Amino acid sequence: MFFFDKKFCVSITDRNGLFLYVNKNFCDLSGYSEEELIGQSYRIVNPDYEQENFTEELEQFFTSGEAWQKNIRAIAKDGTPYWVNANIIPILDESGQNLQFLSIDSDITARELTKQNLRNIQNALHYSSVVAITNAQGVITYVNENFCALSQYSSEELIGKTHRIVNSNYHPKSFFKEMWNTIQGGDIWEGDVCNRAKDGSLYWVSTTIVPFLDDEGKPEQYIAIRYDITARKQAEESLEIALQNDFRTTVKNLQNAIFKYTTTDNGEIKFTLFEGQIIERLGILVDKLYTGEYEHIFIEEVRSKLTEYLFAGLAGEIVQFEMEWDGLHLLVYLSPIEKDGEVVEVVGTAIDITARIEAEKVIEHMAYYDSLTGLPNRRNFQETLEKKITSASEDSPFAIMFLDLDRFKNVNDTLGHHVGDQLLIAVGERLRDCVQDEEAVGRLSGDEFVILVDSGDSDELTALASQIVNYLSQPYFFEKQEIFVAPSIGIALFPNDGADYSMLLRNADTAMYLAKEAGKGTFRFFTKELHEELMEKTFFEMELRQALEKEQFLLHYQPQFDLMSGQIKGMEALVRWNHPVRGYISPMKFISIAEENGFILPLGEWVLKTACSQAKAWQEQGHPPLRISVNVSMKQFNHPFFVDDVLRVLKETGLHPSFLNLEITESMMSDVKNCETVLQELYSAGITVSVDDFGTGYSSLLYLSKFPLSHLKIDQAFIRELSKNNTAIVKAIIDLAKNLGLNVIAEGVETEEQEEFLKQLQCDEVQGYLYSKPIPREEIEQLLMKL
């Protein structure tokens, strides 16, 4: 239990909820000592705990085979709340009865407090701000009630329009051009905008526009947060008028603060005006300001900063700064007033921007954190990594882990995106548990996560990657569904595997891809050798796709003989790739890649058409009509227009359907309904179908007896080595075929011993090197001329 004791809060209680054991982490978090907890009820840290109901709930979960897991709010000894994610499992006696309960808890207090704060800020943002969302083209897709109230338009009138509907023509075109250049470049734009309401009146809004980027880093929508500053603008206009008149009466009723100051003969700050309703909220005693007691009003930290700015204004500078005072955030403007080239006084305004600052916190979180998991998003992770690269050196290596969930698409497709989203949240939480710094885990997009690890030690990275694979591979429970996924992880080290963000991420992604190829649910370190291997495969795939257009493919044909008479019954068409540089490339190398990338569909059609055309040509040349066999891939067989494509090829080539045999594998018969439909359509058209490599799959004998098949082909692996077990299997396959009324073809026959064995079992047909290897068209024609 050392790992859990070191990382989690662990406790054991009896059936009555009394503590029997607590570890140090539990004591540290609750504030109680071990002596204060042992023998006490769980109620000591959870006043809402009811032993009977809780025990009944636990046993219901355990009876159904589910683990009990919840987030619990507890109270520490000093009265402060804390939260844990509790996982409780039963400790059973020999008869299977529950004796005790083991609870393994992880501290999620910081996460819960963050959620509460963000929720409060978001609520405040909704009720205090003017919010609009547009798509990438600027078309409005959402507005809140504040937007409608301020603009006097209904949501129906606004949604589907652009912001031109409230354009006041106050700003020049260059103003909006600069704004669009900023947000389309992925940056946040801030500024004051004058708009026109539906009744024609003007209003001003302080605006912040945040672009939200897609996986390629391009804006896909924009969120605009605005605040009505019409009163402030009116106040500024009133201030300009008041500067020419006695404005004290005017400014007293302003929401924000207006002040004037100058200096005494001793060079000290002297306020001559300080008005506005915000003064009461700040608790400023104006009389003391007027009597020169300025230094006694502000605390040292505020006074020092403020004095520096005030004297800058007296020096003739136009000053703008922000400051925090007594829980409020203020934006202060200082405007010097000159006479005969000298500053005689400074006029200032102090505006309450607390709501804007709080909104900016939400905006920053929305722009830099994933909305689903709460993890740092792609933009956040990139900036963090680039800063780390800038400050790092060869003596301070680190690593990034690129993580992708295997089989995640199956979860979305079968259980729905709601469950998929819950799974991503749970994966994010487990990743947080595996690393010390929560900010080191990020979600890039979809099911792709990334981890920044402050270590270049391969043993430490191997241990962490193994822990992540094991932890994330444990089952997840959602809506009484048990879900299993596993991660594939690629690891790249700085600076050996990349000196910048793009290269590190690309190489970690490459290593992750290779981990998937290695069997998934594992990890791989990036190496140059692996990279070269992947590049070779990439180039190979590119050449493979071009090979069809460049006519580099050709067919070889292997005769199939009647075992008793020795007459040719048919030929199997086998594709070959004659590369101009590499020479002949084995189908074992390129067929699997073609299956993987989908190229098998056009390649398979080419093989079918070429084989049928050649069979028809031989008939027209006067050769005996022979059956031509063509292998069919899984993707071809499952294609919705497969049968139509086969019939079209037969019509185009003029080959009669009775001379075409299609070879499928046992695995294609796993989808019984689709297989039965396709085979029946082919049978009705007069096309025969044989099962290739029979004996290596798991076909059902029941369905095998119902499907319209013509041949079973015994896999050459059984023929090549006639061991005791293999001879029994071959005999069983031939007996099975005879009982089902099917012919048998044995492939891979290479010796007379094998031939004699097959004759004794009355096998129907054979093919293999004993008779002929696969040979080109010209050699087959020479063979046909001898018939």
Confidence tier at 252 by pLDDT (50, 70, 90)? low
Q: According to the model, what pLDDT value does residue 253 have?
A: 61
Q: 105 falls in which pLDDT band (50, 70, 90)?
A: confident
Contact 587, 595 (CB under 8 A): no
* Banded model confidence at residue 390, pLDDT cuts 50, 70, 90: confident
Q: Is the pLDDT of residue 248 over 80?
A: no
Residue 459's φ and ψ, nearest 5 degrees, are -65, -45
State how far the alpha carbon of 211 is from the alpha carbons of 184, 359, 410, 455, 562, in Å.
Answer: 7, 15, 32, 34, 73
Mean pLDDT value across residues 692-697: 70
Cα–Cα distances in angstroms (integers) from residue 679 to residues 400, 473, 638, in the given order: 51, 40, 11
Give me the mean pLDDT over the 88-101 stretch: 78
CA–CA gap between residue 658 and residue 90 (Å, rounded): 67
In angstroms, rounded to a whole number, what is the distance separating the alpha carbons of residues 508 and 524? 9
Residue 764 has pLDDT above 60, yes or no: yes
Which phi and psi (to 5°) does residue 244 adopt? -90, -10
Weakest-pLDDT range from 468-472, 585-589, 722-726, 762-766: 722-726
Q: Cα separation of 113 and 530, whole Å? A: 44
Q: Which residues contact 676 (CB under 8 A, 6 or more apart)?
A: 703, 706, 707
Mean per-residue pLDDT over the chain, rounded? 85
pLDDT above 60: residue 114: yes
* Percentage of the chain exceeding pLDDT 90: 40
Please enumerate, as own/partner, the contacts of 682-687 that have beta carbons within 8 Å and a separation of 24 or more: 682/643, 682/646, 682/708, 683/708, 685/643, 685/646, 685/647, 685/657, 686/656, 686/657, 686/658, 687/646, 687/650, 687/657, 687/658, 687/660, 687/661, 687/662
Residue among 224, 206, 21 nearest 104 (CA): 21
Burial readout 134-146 (b: 16 or more C-beta within 10 A, e: otherwise): beeeeebeebbeb
Q: Identify the pLDDT of residue 570.
A: 94
Tell me which of 115 and 123 has the higher pLDDT.
115
pLDDT band at 643 (very low <50, low <70, confident <90, very high): very high
558: its two tokens: 């292997």
* Residue 536 to residue 630: CA distance in whole angstroms: 30
Contact criterion met (CB below 8 Å) for 353 and 332: no
Q: What is the DSSP letter of 41?
A: B
| Rounded-to-integer distance, Cα 512 and Cα 534, Å | 11
Predicted confidence (pLDDT) per residue in 560-599, tens digit = 999 999 999 999 999 999 989 888 888 888 888 888 778 8
Do residues 679 and 690 lie in contact, with contact meaning Cβ atoms separated by under 8 Å? no
Task: Specify the pLDDT at position 682.
Answer: 95
**Which residue has better confidence, 267 or 299?**
267
State mean pLDDT over 391-406: 86
- 418 within 8 A of 355, measured Cβ to Cβ: no
Q: CA angle 140-143-145, nearest 5°?
A: 160
The 10s digit of each residue's pLDDT in 81-94 is 998 888 888 887 77
For the residues 178-194, what does the mean pLDDT come to? 91
Give 286's pLDDT tier (boundaries 50, 70, 90). low
Which neighbouring-strand residues pair with 556?
574
Q: How crowded is residue 645: how many other Cβ atoms within 10 Å of its Cβ?
A: 16
Enumerate the H helices of 208-265 as residue ranges: 230-243, 248-252
Q: What is the pLDDT of residue 181?
A: 93
Confidence at residue 727, expressed as pLDDT on a 0 to 100 scale: 86
**pLDDT tens per residue, range 200-223:** 999 999 998 988 887 777 888 898
Looking at residue 241, its pLDDT comes to: 61
Which range is most confident: 410-424, 499-513, 650-664, 738-752? 650-664
The residues facing 166 across adjacent strands are none
Distances (CA, A) of 493 to 455, 507, 508: 9, 9, 8
- Sign of the Cα pseudo-torsion (177, 181, 182, 186, in order): positive
Highest mean pLDDT among 151-165, 299-313, 589-603: 151-165
Is residue 689 scored above 90 in pLDDT? yes
Confidence (pLDDT) at 765: 95
Query: For the chain, what percent of residues have pLDDT higher than 70?
Result: 89
Pinpoint the alpha helices (H) of 494-569.
501-517, 528-549
Torsion of CA 180, 186, 192, 195, to 10 degrees: 50
Instruction: Compute how many other C-beta atoms are within 10 angstroms of the C-beta atom of residue 28.
Output: 12
Please report the pLDDT score of residue 284 as a whole number.
Answer: 66
Contact present, 522 and 488 (Cβ < 8 Å): yes
Contact 765, 560 (CB under 8 A): yes
- From CA 343, how far away is CA 332, in angstroms rounded? 19
CB 349 within 8 A of CB 236: yes
- Is residue 196 scored above 90 in pLDDT? yes
Query: SS3 for 591-610, per residue?
Result: HHHHHHHCCHHHHHHHHHHH
- Check pLDDT > 90 for residue 231: no
Residues 18-36, mean pLDDT to the nearest whole number? 91
Position 177 scores a pLDDT of 92
Of 120-129, 423-432, 463-472, 766-775, the least confident: 120-129
pLDDT, mean of residues 761-770: 93
pLDDT value at residue 68: 80
Model pLDDT for residues 438-489, shown as the tens digit of each residue = 778 999 988 999 999 988 888 999 999 999 999 999 999 887 778 889 999 9
At 201 the three-state DSSP class reads: coil
| CA of residue 250 relative to chain centroid, distance | 57
pLDDT digits (tens, 9 = 90+) for 317-360: 999 988 887 778 888 999 999 887 888 899 988 888 888 888 77
Here the tokens at position 547 are 């090979």
State the pairing for strand pair 711-714/743-747.
parallel
What span, in angstroms and rounded, lies between the C-alpha atoms of 594 and 603?
8
pLDDT tens, position by position, 489-533: 999 999 888 888 988 998 999 899 888 887 788 999 988 777 667
Residue indicated by tokens 């700003």: 171
Q: String of b and e for 442-453 (b: at least 16 CB within 10 Å)?
A: bbbeebbbbbbb
Q: What is the pLDDT of residue 441?
A: 93
CA dist 556 and 57 (Å) reads 69
Q: Which range scores top for mean pLDDT: 37-41, 104-108, 696-700?
A: 37-41
The pLDDT assigned to 336 comes to: 92
Q: Give one DSSP letter per residue of 135-165, joined into a string.
A: ETT--EEEE-HHHHHHH---HHHHTTS-GGG
Alpha-carbon distance of 190 to 225, in angstroms, equals 10
For the cut 70, the answer to whether the pLDDT of residue 287 exceeds it is: no
Is the distance from CB of 720 to CB of 702 less than 8 angstroms? Answer: no
**What's the pLDDT at 701?**
63
Q: Give the pLDDT mean for 612-622.
A: 95
| The pLDDT value given to residue 521 | 86
Question: What's the one-letter identity of residue 465?
Answer: A
Instruction: Give the Cα-Cα-Cα angle 248, 252, 257 (nearest 5 degrees).
Output: 100
Q: Where are the beta strands (DSSP E) in 214-308?
A: 219-228, 257-263, 269-275
- Position 767 scores a pLDDT of 95
Rounded to whole angstroms, the maximal C-alpha distance in the chain is 128
Query: Which one is predicted more confidently, 193 or 107?
Result: 193
Mean pLDDT along residues 284-290? 62
pLDDT at 33 exceeding the cut of 90: yes
- pLDDT at residue 398, as a whole number: 92
pLDDT recorded at residue 110? 77
Does the pLDDT at position 769 exceed 90?
Answer: yes
